[in-house]
Amino acid sequence: MGSESCSSSDEKKLAMEPLLGDNLNPKGGLRTMPFIIANEAFERVASIGLQSNMIMYLTREYNLEAMTAAYILFVWSAVSNLMPVLGAFVADSYAGRYRMVGFGSIATLAGMVLLWLTAIIPSAKPPVCDPASEICERATTSQLLFLYSSLGFMSVGAGGIRSSSLAFGADQLNREDSIENAGILQRYFSWYYAAVSVASMVAVTCIVYIQDNLGWKVGLGVPAVLMFLSALSFFLASPFYVKLKAKTSLLTGLAQVIVASYRNRNVKLSSQATDEVYHHKKGSMLLKPSEKLRWLNKACIVRDPLDLTSDGRAKNPWNLCTVDQVEELKALIKVIPLWSTGIVIGMTLDQQSFPIIQVSTMDRKITSNFEIPSGSFGIFMIITVIVWIALYEHIIIPIASKISGKPTYLSLKKRLGIGLLCSCASMATWAIVEIFRRKIAIEEGFSDDPRAVVHMSWMWLLPHLVLGGLAMAFNTIGQSQFYYSELPKSMASISSTLLGIGSSAASLVSSFIVNTVDNITKSGGKESWISTNINKGHYDYYYWLLAGLSMVNFMYFLVCSKAYGPCKGEAFEKDDMSTEEQ
């Protein structure tokens, strides 16, 4: 008994050594976590701190029109959200996660330093507008290229860090399956997302406050210094990291199914699925592909035994795929319609630039000596998300479950739908507030002064911000859980990038709509709805347009939801109910 106890104790100690890190196993472990989490947190503080107030920098320092500045930011956001997808592919297939995070840190730092230089070097941007003559010198091509290069470097850097940082941290801990390892891994994810949330709050408060009160030289310098600390914290622990080698990307596997099914397009599928011989992954439980999207099944039919190696693998994976690969692609295709409903809500949540212009003309005072920076109002959406999650998890669900006598919760599709309705209501309240704000500005004689502060409290915007936060809490978070739950576990990496791809698509759609609205509404010499002079434009019309698109999107969601059928959890729940009835 004593020897067994000692053996058990030794086994537990050895199991924990890869996690904690010691002389016997100097790679990975919990000691690497502060460096990895600090890298992500500092990057988020720096990047979000810039994005929150960038519309003011572009319109006031580069003399750009509001529409042009918003268009630039939409494209920047789209590229930044899309680059992690490319970064994940490169990291998985070629470079590895360590190199990808390191490259991203350096690229982001370079972009922030270049942006900082635009505030330091006088010739890097046009002179400030003369308010007396109302003459504004436009930025030259070289000045804009310098600006675009800084934004480009930051987008590339975001692709490197955000595509691999979370998974790279998990690489340091994820060894053998055990209760101890699972608990430590869960603790890591909790701390990771907590750090990102805190970083976002610091960014939209402290960084924006510095930019508004200490000027752009300091306001852009602080994020650059923070990004330097981010890169430094990451590379300091380099000798202790577990650096896994790159392997074949799942995206490559999905592409192989499409190519193989096309190459085998002349193969005829019999009505009896059992007549075909399918290529299976070693250890897979899937014996044959499903009957949906049958044309993809041609990718996994073994036409000639010579197409397989002696160990049962395909000699050319671009001609012959496994049943698992085919089913993974089918699962991805199935979620695309519901995924597409997230583009419009992403577009409404991406309207960060115009609220800053709007709230900058309102009374933002909390006390006689302190007022909220216009770029910091996004914090109310973050607070709403945090408060709602706490209420939902700790109050609403327990009470509803106690009343019903069984575990009660909102299904995933209901959460997605409620989020879409909240987004629509958010746009409508935003439009109503702008009607009153513009009316007050005209009555007070500020038609020609877009920077004048009208006698209207910032609290009028709270309904819009709270509803926007609820839209994020229901739909955005619900999307992440929906993809993770509905797609196979082997597609976890893709499920984590679908939201980012949707955000990228939303930014591109936003830029298209902004450009189209501006061109149409200013035709014939009329003032554009989204004029640089917010008091002469009609931003309320633009917000009503977004509200209308949101309602159409909700109707589209209802159609897609019905066509999708029950989610996995809902199907199991119905099966359980049917069993109980019998």
- 276, exposed or middle or buried, with CB in 10 Å at 0-12, 13-18, 19+? middle
Give the number of other Cβ atoms within 10 Å of residue 379's Cβ.
20
Pick the CATH number of 17-247 from 3.40.30.10, 1.20.1250.20, 3.90.1150.10, 1.25.40.10: 1.20.1250.20
Task: Return the CATH architecture of domain 331-565.
Answer: Up-down Bundle (1.20)
DSSP 497-549: HHHHHHHHHHHHHHHHHHHHHHHHHTGGGPPPTT-SSTTTS-HHHHHHHHHHH
pLDDT band at 492 (very low <50, low <70, confident <90, very high): low
The residues with which 278 forms a beta bridge, in sequence order, are 301
Q: What kind and span of H or E run contains 146?
A: helix 141-171
DSSP 337-394: HHHHHHHHHHHHHT--HHHHHHHTTSB-EEETTEE--GGGTTHHHHHHHHHHHHHIII
pLDDT, tens digit (0-9, with 9 covering 90-100), for 166-177: 778 777 775 554
Residue 572, pLDDT > 50, answer no
Unique residue bearing structure tokens 């979000």? 48
pLDDT band at 534 (very low <50, low <70, confident <90, very high): confident
118-127, 156-165, 278-287, 398-407, range with greatest mean pLDDT: 118-127
The residues with which 314 forms a beta bridge, in sequence order, are 308
pLDDT, tens digit (0-9, with 9 covering 90-100), for 452-467: 888 888 889 899 999 9
- CA-nearest of 414, 424, 415 to 551 is 424
Q: What phi and psi values does residue 308 have, to the nearest 5 degrees?
A: -110, 150
The residues with which 365 forms a beta bridge, in sequence order, are 371
Mean pLDDT value across the chain = 81
- 252, exposed or middle or buried, with CB in 10 Å at 0-12, 13-18, 19+? middle
Distance from C-alpha of 188 to C-alpha of 404, rounded to nearest angstrom: 35
The residues with which 363 forms a beta bridge, in sequence order, are 457
State residue 276's pLDDT score. 64
Lowest mean pLDDT among 116-125, 176-185, 377-386: 176-185
Residue ranges, CATH 1.20.1250.20, the chain? 17-247, 331-565
Distance from C-alpha of 251 to C-alpha of 494, rounded to nearest angstrom: 8
pLDDT band at 272 (very low <50, low <70, confident <90, very high): low
Residue 457: helix, strand or coil by DSSP?
strand
Distance from C-alpha of 329 to C-alpha of 384, rounded to nearest angstrom: 36
Which residues, 6+ apart, have CB-to-CB distance to 144 below 8 Å? 62
pTM: 0.74
Residue 560, pLDDT > 90, answer yes
- CA-nearest of 418, 425, 385 to 561 is 418
DSSP 192-261: HHHHHHHHHHHIIIIIHHHHHHH-HHHHHHHHHHHHHHHHHHHHHTGGG---PPP---HHHHHHHHHHHH
Distance from C-alpha of 116 to C-alpha of 136, rounded to nearest angstrom: 22
175, 18 contact by CB (below 8 A): yes
State residue 466's pLDDT score. 92
- CA-nearest of 331, 534, 363 to 455 is 363
State residue 133's pLDDT score. 57
Between CA 150 and CA 157, with CA 154 as vertex, the angle to 5 degrees is: 140
Distance linking the first and last C-alpha atoms of the chain = 50
Residue 550, pLDDT > 90, answer yes
pLDDT band at 547 (very low <50, low <70, confident <90, very high): very high
229-233, 307-311, 449-453, range with greatest mean pLDDT: 229-233
Distance from C-alpha of 344 to C-alpha of 321, rounded to nearest angstrom: 35
Which residues, 6+ apart, have CB-to-CB distance to 169 below 8 Å? 32, 33, 36, 37, 188, 192
Report the residue count for the chain.
Answer: 582
